[in-house]
């Protein structure tokens, strides 16, 4: 995002809230919450300088468990609501927060369109490969064969590949991390915040209740950092990003998969925002008499 | 009740009565889509209006881009005029080879009326025969010839025809000339001048050849001064803008689109963020996001798109976000009659979304009320922190009527319990976004200030916005939210009468039906026998229902009938539950065509007859 | 009216009256989510039911997966029982350290009631003090010890507790043993046997140590025979299946999901295509696609998902496609109280989608009616070629009650004017999908036969299905479609009374409120003074509204009050517009918790008092 | 699709209808209509053996102008409704028909999910890069800078790349043709019909009313046949498909971009359809008494 506010000295304390979390013990969402907090602290963004727009789902409740501006909205609509908020107030860092069902399932239309528009927001999608809050149905990222209440013989659909999809839809920042490594996740989120344009951050997330197989040990074995395996990886090359996203060795590459800094963000191109260099909500509501007269006269 | 069923005869009786002061001339311009019916109709309207006539214009078009059959109807009068008429005096057709449609228009011509067509067209014998039957004159003008000879292109034959209309109407030519210059001058001066030349030729040709046969005329009021010809959607858009709307996100859907396009065309000039979204869900969600940020925001659509918005409507209701939704109704259900008019979304809009939350529904009936609704919607939304729906329809969205510039007033912007940055700086203690208050409205401060950090939830929440499921808080929060509806009810505008007090019969109408019903009042009562027989009661702010005002007004009625453009008499149902009032007879029209005053009169006469029989 | 406001005292008065024949014992099992409250509650319910008791069971849970606080309530009786009670006799807690919730439960214990907890838990002094206050007994059983010693794992402490309950209830142990064997036997015999052993230990421990203190008991009816404990959603699903539903597409949303999961779990066995879709729009659209192909189809959801379906509902209405939609209501608006109950979608459902088209809305109130609604929905949908909505709610969706197997009858499948392949082979002339007929229903033939080629449109269409905008056809098609509603109205089931004829006061209820109201009738009238004072009138097929039957029934009432789980008395509003009947008093509950019979009685008593004062 | 019906000898006459088209003179939709017809004739599919599910838009009205089974439904939902129809009646060849707004705009969520499911239907998307029926607003495929009533300064969004998106979403057949070459379009549609699984056919379409610049001449210059330019093009290689889809030389490759014959279709994996080898609508509705008893007993 284009960060317009001054950096603020903040600590964990500033983000502390009394609200009790409703997450299961051991849920990966705790790690993600801490990663978000760390990223904000490291980026120098205070609770009042950020806007966290949650969808609906276990992970989407994140804004309830941190002291920061937020808005817990509708299932699948976080991306749209966050985009609207951002266009009206470009001063806050706007972050949408979804689960895999929320973001890649019901919400994929908004996701795809806001990515190609290059809306200047961050979208964190917590991917536990299952519907948690509704008690364990398979999701668009569930692996084929995953048995759930709505797929008792095992899912027969091919899972979505969020990263290749994001790249081809036009996201300009595509990163991935994992809930068991909040430090890494915080780094990626911070990069996403600093990126200008739509930044998708997929965070692989453990769900010890409904996706027991993919626990922390499993993820540790299945994930690797892109830059560690290939220090020369060029994240600005779209075709490389595809290749990596499509690599079918059962392992999850982590880090920044794709980063395009050349495309202008949507926000930068909106006439009403460019001609008047302050956030829309600060524009005067006063009606200019001559303009009004001119508008009316044009109909005479 | 379906219309046009054996009613023609009675209609004639009504029309043949002399109409005392008010005189009207109606003109119809018809042709295939893409032939310039709409632009021609608008152009001649502007010219005639500027001449000093009152004018009502509305177009009838099919759901296609080119071809088919569209028409534009203009009603001119020496007095204010609010609806089209069924019969008319002058008919210009660009597609006379479309025999079926042409004949149906001709059958609606008055005796002595004129029919302008290109002299080069070989008219089918049925057409000339029917013209003779109704006693109308054929004005076969050399449209294409004059266009080709003087303008250099047959394309200008429309302009020749408009010149002909101006001639027959004895409009000072400079009025038409002015409009043509304005319309074509943007493209090039040369084109403008050519069009003026061919118009002039048509003008003179018509005067020389047909003026003596065309006996209808109206006095031009040269003192009339400036009036706008602006349609309902444009008025809503302008009212919204002047009331401070700075964000509009929408997805195209006829007839809601033009509210959006009013803004998109001027987005840079007005400093408004306009977003064409991927669907209606995103349209309302983005508007809500922007409203939560603090911008006055809106969206616009029609029924099918409104369907997709109802979930987000509940989001706005639950989290108390002010947002404005325009639903311009069209013929339903489903895709229905996409370019035609209907008033069948009333109960859907009032009850839209699951669960219960306060919302406000405005149903303007005139261009002036459209402007006012635009203004009030944004003020009420922010004052009560609720979603506001403006329910308009295809008829109102696209109609023009000479409108006073002063009716578009400079609004006061009432942000209600809005806490400014400056006030926040001085704020002591914790800010509670959903604080319990006497009127249910909580002071509203925006996110982005160190003292206002909060995160509202669509789950039930406490005063801070945090999720909580306790029964006590739930009850208080429901009471708080629903109480806003009661407070708002007291400032909803009550219904208004038009016509004589103490009329024998009162038509209950809402929204756009006002126009035709108002003309029907004038038309019906003008008959000596019927003096002061009927009036109308018009509702234009319907939710929360202005029950007290409605009850007061209903006391002044003797016999009520509802007149609605729908099948199930939705407003009569609403009135029943809110006031216990049962209308005696329900008049319904649901063929997508707007009610005409004459048609209403026929219904009214039937009702009166039957009612008298019944009480005899 | 909010409940529990200074009413406790009056409640006591009612409860202390001897209840002649009907005796009840209520049990509550509480704990955090994930502690096995639901499974434990279901298990002991099954065992007690099999012992020969009537039983009503319902759970109360928060919107989270683990932690928080949930409970399962069981009401047992020697007679049929339809609701939970406010006060109860036996309380088992797995999270007694959750002081606040535990205390609130304890305060609802009867004098002499028992509280089972693990002896290893050090209870907070407030808890023991409050227990003493209400006069309840502490049954601190060695739950974890027995589980560890005899079962080898503390996890089995729940089973010990259930054994304890069985012991106190003097249930023959083999009833519990049977259930445990069935439940755990699937996993492994060993686990089953261990659980039986620990249950037995709990059983005996309770009998030896506490039986003398626990004075409540019910006679087991050994002749009772087989009854189902099936919940409302499962009953809807089973009714739909037996009526021939072969396609269900849905998106998970509490509390609608379990209708879907009933099918998904059995999809191979039953030969039903089940599709978990990407959202609710696709869910209904796929079901409509399958229905258009000819399969009996349905979807299920809750309010928020229903919002997303309303556009497609109009598609089904316009193209006359039979499809069934279950909307299991929960606390709204928006995300609201996702796991709690409410009846606030009635007017939304009836008026859902823009424009006007016929639909049918069923509002079952009991498990038996849920089954029946499942059957009827599919038959009515196909007979009238309309969408049918089953409006249920969280309370009904999740409740179990001993239900006769015969109540789940073998349905007749009525496909209405369905033209079979064989008939088609013999068909002469053109097939008209939307042929005008006397009852508005057109013979329905499927696509896929050489003689039936057609393509319906959501635009207004002619008898073939082709798009047309003519006014004449439009009027006829609207009349045709809307007329189906009138024909269907005559077969909508009218309301049913429960309780004495000629009661002084009649409660008007709909849907799931039947249960608590029915129990309230019994409870209230059992008081000698109140004999035959109140009854209820229950509506369970509400759209098209069975006006005649309703009017007949209302004539038999003296003083009516509405009792609804919503804020705006939606049913009373509907009744008003359909029958002109004004209920005298409106009772509303909207905190997401189900009405209890005692609570209703308090309201009724207040109403009666005030009414008498008023007429005095 | 798995074509279960016997091939039928059909001619143009069989598809003739009296219904008058409402398309503008010269509209590319006429070419597409003729291509659909030719494809059906060549595939031996009679009017009663096919199901054409239209969305809403100019092109989506196609089923009204051909004598064949059809269903003109809702804007954006053709893919879902067609999928539902197909699952219930696998005997008909089911073809969804959308415009670019319908298919790639409002309907993209359903499109993406049905592609990854490999629903066994054909989806023809008529891409005129504009909203025709609502009178010329820009669409998700409109080029940046395209001026319309909702983009008076020119569209500031990056157009969607339908082909790369389809490939990454999991479509198993991705083809492209153009309304000015109905013969080629018919070939591609026929291949799509014969493919087992989700077959996306994008047909570039002229709109002489609202997208005047991209007329037939323009398209002739801007399009080329993949196989003509590269006879060795391997359509089974996903990465090649990406590369071609992303190639940014302003020209449109036409033909079969991607073809994966290995993934099973969704339909093939549905238990209820596999155990009973006839279309679902032919299954008996009779209730087996013993099964019913067993169901009830399970609740005792
Ligand atoms: C319109 C709508 N449909 C369905 C739901 C029910 N619902 C709540 S959360 C959820 C899915 C949660 O899955 P995911 O997004 O992966 O989040 P998780 O719980 O796994 O973190 C669903 C279907 C809803 N709230 N709204
Ligand atoms: C829910 C809904 N929103 C909007 C519309 C209005 N609408 C009709 S067609 C259309 C877009 C048409 O564009 P496209 O799909 O590209 O088809 P084309 O007309 O260009 O062939 C829209 C927005 C609608 N019918 N339904
Ligand atoms: S269900 Fe899974 S995702 Fe949800 S809170 Fe529990 S562990 Fe976390
Ligand atoms: S507007 Fe364009 S797409 Fe629509 S019919 Fe006309 S030319 Fe074809
Ligand atoms: Mg998830
Ligand atoms: Mg298009």
Encode chain A (300 residues) as per-residue pLDDT tens digits: 878 888 889 999 999 999 999 999 999 999 999 999 999 999 999 999 999 999 999 999 999 999 999 999 999 999 999 999 999 999 999 999 999 999 999 999 999 999 999 999 999 999 999 999 999 999 999 999 999 999 999 999 999 999 999 999 999 999 999 999 999 999 999 999 999 999 999 999 999 999 999 999 999 999 999 999 999 999 999 999 999 998 888 899 999 999 999 999 999 999 999 887 899 999 999 999 999 999 999 999
Give the single-character DSSP code of A126. E
User: Is D30 among the domain residues?
Assistant: yes
Q: What is the ipTM of this complex?
A: 0.97
Nearest-by-Cβ selection for A113 from D140, D156, D266: D140
Query: In Å, how far are A75, A155, A287, B198, D102 from C282, measured between CA atoms?
Result: 15, 18, 45, 56, 14
- Tell me the pairing of strands B24-33 and B88-93: parallel
Residues C71 and C140 in one domain: yes
* D147 Cβ neighbours under 8 A, 6+ residues apart: D153, D154, D155
Residues in chain B: 616
Residues B86 and B186 in one domain: yes
Residue B613 above 80 pLDDT?
no
User: Is A1 among the domain residues?
Assistant: no
The rounded Cα B442 to chain-centroid distance in angstroms is: 35
User: Does ligand 3 lie within 6 Å of residue A207's CB atom?
Assistant: yes
The rounded Cα C485 to chain-centroid distance in angstroms is: 26
User: Does ligand 4 lie within 6 Å of residue D44's CB atom?
Assistant: no
User: Is D92 among the domain residues?
Assistant: yes
Residue numbers of the domain that contains A72: 12-298
Buried b / exposed e across B439-449, counting CB within 10 Å, b at 16+? ebbbebbbbbb
Rounded Cα gap, residues A182 and A187, in angstroms: 8
Rounded Cα gap, residues D255 and D178, in angstroms: 10
Q: Which residues of A touch D142 (CB under 8 A)?
A: none
State pLDDT tens for residues B225-268.
999 999 999 999 999 999 999 999 999 999 999 999 999 999 99
- Determine if the peptide bond prior to A172 is cis (ω within 30°): no
- For the record, the structure tokens of D66 come out as 């051909």
User: Is B396 among the domain residues?
Assistant: yes
Give the single-character DSSP code of C407. G
Residue B382 belongs to domain with CATH number:
3.40.50.970
Residues B456 and B483 in one domain: yes
User: Is B223 among the domain residues?
Assistant: no
User: Is B525 among the domain residues?
Assistant: yes
- Chain C nearest C-alpha distance from B10 (Å): 20
| Region of D271 on the Ramachandran plot (φ > 0 left; ψ -120 to 50 alpha; else beta) | alpha
State pLDDT tens for residues C203-214.
999 999 999 999
- For the record, the structure tokens of C363 come out as 């509002």
Q: Match 């009420």 to its residue by tokens.
A: B380
Please name which of C426, C400, C8, C111 lies closest in space to residue C232, comparing C-alpha atoms.
C400
Which ligand approaches the C-alpha of residue D57 most closely?
2
Give percent of chain B with pLDDT exceeding 70: 96
Residue C18 above 50 pLDDT?
no
Residue numbers of the domain that contains C127: 24-210
pLDDT of B2 reads 39
Nearest-by-Cβ selection for D71 from C279, C295, C455: C455
- CA-derived radius of gyration, chain B: 26
Which ligand approaches the C-alpha of residue D105 most closely?
2
Query: In Å, how far are C182, D32, D205 from D171, measured between CA atoms?
Result: 45, 22, 21
Rounded Cα gap, residues C436 and C414, in angstroms: 21
- How close is the Cα of C64 to the center of ligand 5, in Å? 14
- Chain C nearest C-alpha distance from A293 (Å): 37
Nearest-by-Cβ selection for A269 from D118, D156, D165: D156
Which ligand approaches the C-alpha of residue A209 most closely?
3
Determine contact: D151 vs chain B, CB below 8 A: yes
| Region of C7 on the Ramachandran plot (φ > 0 left; ψ -120 to 50 alpha; else beta) | alpha
Query: In Å, how far are B434, B462, D251 from B431, measured between CA atoms?
Result: 9, 13, 58
User: Does ligand 4 lie within 6 Å of residue D171's CB atom?
Assistant: no
Coil vs helix vs strand at D195: coil
Nearest-by-Cβ selection for B279 from D22, D106, D138: D106
State pLDDT tens for residues C214-258.
999 999 998 999 999 999 999 999 999 999 999 999 999 999 999
Residues C523 and C565 in one domain: yes
State pLDDT tens for residues B197-215.
999 999 999 999 999 999 9
Does residue C556 contact residue C497 with C-beta atoms inside 8 Å?
Answer: yes
How many alpha carbons lie under 13 Å from residue C164 in its C-beta half-sphere? 33
Rounded Cα gap, residues D107 and D121, in angstroms: 16
User: Is D253 among the domain residues?
Assistant: yes
Q: Which residues of A touch C251 (CB under 8 A)?
A: 106
Interchain pair C410, D292: CB under 8 A: yes
- How close is the Cα of C345 to the center of ligand 2, in Å? 30
State pLDDT tens for residues B311-349.
999 999 999 999 999 999 999 999 999 999 999 999 999
Rounded Cα gap, residues B371 and B410, in angstroms: 11
Rounded Cα gap, residues C58 and C390, in angstroms: 20
For chains A and D, what is the number of CB pairs under 8 angstroms? 87
Angle at D217 between CA D213 and CA D221, to 5 degrees: 100
Q: Which of A22, A29, A133 to mutate to test the pocket of ligand 3 (most atoms within 8 A of CB)?
A: A29
User: Does ligand 3 lie within 6 Å of residue A24's CB atom?
Assistant: yes
Residues C259 and C151 in one domain: no
* B194 Cβ neighbours under 8 A, 6+ residues apart: B150, B151, B152, B156
Total H helices, total E strands in chain D: 11, 8
The edge-to-edge listing of strands for the beta sheet with B296-301 is B273-276, B245-250, B296-301, B323-329, B387-393, B360-362, B541-543
Q: Which residues pair with A176 in a beta bridge?
A: A202, A255
- For the record, the structure tokens of B241 come out as 């803008």
Diameter over CA atoms, chain A: 74
User: Is A4 among the domain residues?
Assistant: no
Domain boundary among C349, C374, C407: C407
Does residue C561 contact residue C607 with C-beta atoms inside 8 Å?
Answer: yes
Residue C553 above 60 pLDDT?
yes
Interchain pair A140, D113: CB under 8 A: yes
- How close is the Cα of A101 to the center of ligand 5, in Å? 5
Q: Kindly give the residue spans of alpha helices, DSSP state H, lying in chain D.
A: 29-43, 78-88, 100, 108-117, 162-169, 182-194, 216-222, 226-229, 238-246, 271-274, 289-297
Atom of ligand 2 nearest to the CA of D56: 9
State pLDDT tens for residues B239-248.
999 999 999 9
- How close is the Cα of D126 to the center of ligand 2, in Å? 12
Q: Which residues of D touch C296 (CB under 8 A)?
A: 285
pLDDT of B76 reads 97
User: Does ligand 4 lie within 6 Å of residue B2's CB atom?
Assistant: no
User: Does ligand 4 lie within 6 Å of residue D207's CB atom?
Assistant: yes
Rounded Cα gap, residues B62 and B32, in angstroms: 9
Work out the average pLDDT over C511-519.
98
Rounded Cα gap, residues C290 and B210, in angstroms: 63
The edge-to-edge listing of strands for the beta sheet with C534-539 is C496-498, C534-539, C505-510, C560-564, C585-588
Residue closest by Cα to atom 4 of ligand 2: B253
Residue C6 above 60 pLDDT?
no
Subunits adjacent to chain B (3 or more Cβ pairs under 8 Å): A, C, D
Rounded Cα gap, residues A68 and A37, in angstroms: 10
Residue B166 belongs to domain with CATH number:
3.40.920.10
What is the count of structural domains for chain C? 4
| pLDDT band, residue C5 (cuts 50/70/90) | very low
Residue A221 belongs to domain with CATH number:
3.40.50.970
State pLDDT tens for residues C443-473.
999 999 999 999 999 999 999 999 999 999 9
- How close is the Cα of D175 to the center of ligand 4, in Å? 23
Work out the average pLDDT over C562-591.
98
Residues C487 and C500 in one domain: no
Residues B85 and B200 in one domain: yes
The edge-to-edge listing of strands for the beta sheet with B24-33 is B137-141, B109-118, B88-93, B24-33, B67-77, B54-60, B400-403, B228-231
Share of chain C residues as helix, strand and coil, in percent rounded to the nearest 5: 45, 20, 35
State pLDDT tens for residues B143-161.
999 999 998 888 899 999 9
pLDDT of B10 reads 52
Residue closest by Cα to atom 9 of ligand 1: A57
Determine contact: D116 vs chain A, CB below 8 A: yes
State pLDDT tens for residues B110-130.
999 999 999 999 999 999 999
- Determine if the peptide bond prior to A40 is cis (ω within 30°): no
Does residue C64 contact residue A22 with C-beta atoms inside 8 Å?
Answer: yes
User: Is A86 among the domain residues?
Assistant: yes
Interchain pair B474, C337: CB under 8 A: yes
Atom of ligand 1 nearest to the CA of C307: 1
- Determine if the peptide bond prior to D99 is cis (ω within 30°): no
Residue ranges, chain D, pLDDT below 50 = none
Give the single-character DSSP code of C148. I
- Determine if the peptide bond prior to C544 is cis (ω within 30°): yes
User: Does ligand 4 lie within 6 Å of residue D24's CB atom?
Assistant: yes
Atom of ligand 3 nearest to the CA of A135: 1
pLDDT of C290 reads 98
What is the count of structural domains for chain D? 1
pLDDT of A158 reads 95
Residue closest by Cα to atom 1 of ligand 3: A132
Residue closest by Cα to atom 2 of ligand 3: A207
User: Is C2 among the domain residues?
Assistant: no
pLDDT of A260 reads 97
- Tell me the pairing of strands B245-250 and B296-301: parallel
Nearest-by-Cβ selection for B252 from D137, D140, D209: D137
User: Does ligand 4 lie within 6 Å of residue D131's CB atom?
Assistant: no
Domain boundary among C157, C177, C210: C210
pLDDT of C10 reads 52
Rounded Cα gap, residues B147 and B161, in angstroms: 10
Rounded Cα gap, residues C279 and C301, in angstroms: 10
User: Does ligand 3 lie within 6 Å of residue A65's CB atom?
Assistant: no
User: Is C223 among the domain residues?
Assistant: no
User: Is B4 among the domain residues?
Assistant: no
pLDDT of A284 reads 94
The whole-chain average pLDDT of chain C stands at 94
The edge-to-edge listing of strands for the beta sheet with D93-99 is D69-72, D50-54, D93-99, D122-127, D199-204, D173-178, D252-259, D223-225
Residue B19 above 70 pLDDT?
no
- Chain B nearest C-alpha distance from D36 (Å): 22
User: Is C7 among the domain residues?
Assistant: no
| pLDDT band, residue C370 (cuts 50/70/90) | very high
Nearest-by-Cβ selection for A83 from B242, B289, B297: B289
DSSP readout, C352-405? -SSS----EEE---SHHHHHHHHHHHHHHHHHHTSEEEEEEEHHHHH-EEEE-G
Residues B510 and B610 in one domain: yes
Residue B5 above 50 pLDDT?
no
Residue C50 above 60 pLDDT?
yes
Residue closest by Cα to atom 11 of ligand 2: D131
Residue C614 above 80 pLDDT?
no
User: Is D3 among the domain residues?
Assistant: no
Q: Kindly give the residue spans of alpha helices, DSSP state H, lying in B444-596.
A: 471-489, 513-526, 547-555, 570-579
Work out the average pLDDT over C89-104.
95
Residue closest by Cα to atom 1 of ligand 1: C305
Residue B8 above 70 pLDDT?
no
| pLDDT band, residue C613 (cuts 50/70/90) | low
Query: In Å, how far are A16, A190, B419 from B458, measured between CA atoms?
Result: 22, 28, 22
Domain boundary among B155, B178, B210: B210
User: Is A2 among the domain residues?
Assistant: no
| pTM of the model as a whole | 0.97
Determine contact: A58 vs chain B, CB below 8 A: no
Rounded Cα gap, residues D158 and B237, in angstroms: 28
Residues B386 and B349 in one domain: yes
Give percent of chain C with pLDDT exceeding 70: 96
Residue B3 above 70 pLDDT?
no
The chain C residue lying nearest A139, using CA atoms, is C278
pLDDT of A2 reads 79
Does residue A191 contact residue A218 with C-beta atoms inside 8 Å?
Answer: no
């Amino acid at each position: 995002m284009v960060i317009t506010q001054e950096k603020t000295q903040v600590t964990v304390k500033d983000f502390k809230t009394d609200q009790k979390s409703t997450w299961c013990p051991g849920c990966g969402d705790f790690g993600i919450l801490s990663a978000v907090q760390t990223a904000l602290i490291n980026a120098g963004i205070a609770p009042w300088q950020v806007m966290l727009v949650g969808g609906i789902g276990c992970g989407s409740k994140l804004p309830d468990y941190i002291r920061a501006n937020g808005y817990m909205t509708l299932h699948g609509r976080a991306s749209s609501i966050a985009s609207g908020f951002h266009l009206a107030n470009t001063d806050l860092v706007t972050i949408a927060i979804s689960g895999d069902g929320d973001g890649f399932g019901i919400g994929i239309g908004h996701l795809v369109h806001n990515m190609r528009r290059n809306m200047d927001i961050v979208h964190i999608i917590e991917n536990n490969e299952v519907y948690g809050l509704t008690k364990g149905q398979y999701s668009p990222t569930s692996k084929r064969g995953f048995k759930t209440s709505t797929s008792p013989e095992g899912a027969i659909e091919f899972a979505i590949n969020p990263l290749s999809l994001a790249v081809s839809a036009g996201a300009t920042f595509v990163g991935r991390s994992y809930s068991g490594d909040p430090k890494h996740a915080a780094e990626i989120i911070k990069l996403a915040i600093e990126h200008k344009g739509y930044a998708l951050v997929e965070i692989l997330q453990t769900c010890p209740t409904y996706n027991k197989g993919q626990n922390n040990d499993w993820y540790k074995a299945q994930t690797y950092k892109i830059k560690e395996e290939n220090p020369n990886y060029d994240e600005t090359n779209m075709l490389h990003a595809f290749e990596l996203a499509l690599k079918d060795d059962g392992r999850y590459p982590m880090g920044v998969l794709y980063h395009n800094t050349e495309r202008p963000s949507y926000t930068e191109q909106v006439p009403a925002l460019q001609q008047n260099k302050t956030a829309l909500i600060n524009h005067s509501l006063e009606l200019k008499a001559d303009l009004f007269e001119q508008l009316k006269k044009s109909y005479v | 009740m379906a219309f046009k069923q054996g009613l023609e005869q009675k209609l004639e009786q009504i029309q043949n009565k002399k109409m005392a002061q008010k005189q009207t001339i109606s003109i119809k311009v018809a042709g295939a889509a893409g032939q310039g019916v709409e632009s021609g109709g608008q152009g001649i309207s502007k010219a005639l209006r500027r001449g000093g006539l009152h004018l009502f214009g509305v177009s009838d078009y099919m759901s296609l881009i080119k071809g088919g059959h569209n028409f534009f109807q203009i009603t001119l009068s020496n007095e204010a005029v609010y609806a089209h008429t069924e019969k008319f005096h002058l008919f210009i057709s660009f597609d006379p080879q479309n025999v079926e449609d042409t004949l149906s228009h001709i059958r609606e011509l008055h005796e002595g009326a004129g029919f302008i067509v290109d002299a080069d067209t070989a008219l089918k014998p049925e057409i000339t025969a029917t013209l003779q039957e109704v006693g109308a004159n054929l004005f076969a003008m050399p449209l294409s010839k004059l266009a080709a000879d003087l303008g250099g292109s047959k394309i200008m034959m429309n302009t020749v025809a408009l010149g002909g209309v101006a001639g027959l109407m004895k409009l000072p030519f400079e009025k038409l000339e002015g409009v043509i210059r304005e319309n074509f001058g943007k493209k090039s001066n040369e084109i403008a001048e050519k069009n003026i030349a061919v118009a002039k030729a048509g003008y003179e040709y018509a005067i020389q050849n047909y003026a003596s046969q065309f006996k209808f005329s109206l006095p031009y009021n040269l003192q009339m001064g400036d009036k706008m010809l602006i349609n309902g959607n444009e008025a809503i858009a302008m009212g919204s803008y002047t009331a401070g709307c700075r964000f509009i996100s929408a997805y195209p859907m006829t007839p809601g689109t033009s509210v959006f396009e009013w803004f998109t065309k001027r987005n840079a000039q007005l400093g408004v963020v306009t977003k064409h979204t991927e669907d209606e869900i995103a349209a309302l969600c983005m508007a809500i996001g922007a409203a939560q940020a603090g911008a006055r925001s809106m969206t616009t659509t029609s029924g099918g798109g409104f369907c997709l918005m109802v979930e987000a409507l509940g989001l706005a209701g639950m989290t108390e976000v002010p947002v404005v939704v325009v639903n311009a109704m069209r013929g339903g259900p489903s895709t229905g009659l996409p370019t035609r008019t209907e008033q069948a979304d009333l109960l859907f809009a009032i009850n839209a979304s699951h669960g219960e939350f306060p919302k406000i529904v405005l149903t303007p009936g005139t261009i002036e009320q459209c402007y006012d609704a635009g203004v009030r919607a944004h003020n009420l939304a922010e004052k009560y922190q609720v979603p506001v729906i403006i329910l308009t329809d295809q008829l109102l969205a696209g109609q023009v009527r000479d409108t006073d510039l002063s009716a578009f007033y400079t609004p006061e912007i009432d942000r209600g319990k809005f806490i400014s940055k400056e006030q926040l700086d001085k704020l002591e203690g914790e800010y509670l976004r959903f604080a319990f208050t006497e009127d249910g409205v909580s002071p509203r401060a925006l996110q982005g200030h160190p003292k206002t950090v909060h995160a509202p939830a669509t789950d039930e929440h406490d005063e801070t916005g945090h999720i909580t499921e306790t029964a006590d808080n739930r009850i208080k929060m429901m009471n708080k939210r629903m109480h806003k509806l009661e407070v708002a009810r007291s400032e909803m505008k009550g219904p208004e009468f038009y016509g004589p007090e103490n009329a024998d019969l009162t038509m209950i109408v809402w929204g756009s039906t006002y126009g035709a019903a108002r003309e029907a009042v004038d038309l019906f009562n003008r008959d000596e026998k019927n003096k002061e027989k009927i009036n109308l009661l018009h509702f234009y702010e319907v939710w929360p229902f202005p029950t007290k005002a409605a009850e007061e007004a209903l006391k002044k009625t003797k016999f009520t009938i509802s007149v609605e453009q729908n099948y199930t008499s939705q407003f009569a149902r609403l009135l029943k539950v809110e006031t216990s009032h049962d209308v005696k007879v329900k008049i319904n029209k649901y063929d997508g065509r707007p009610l005409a005053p004459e048609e209403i009169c026929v219904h009214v006469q039937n009702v009166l007859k039957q009612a008298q029989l019944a009480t005899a």
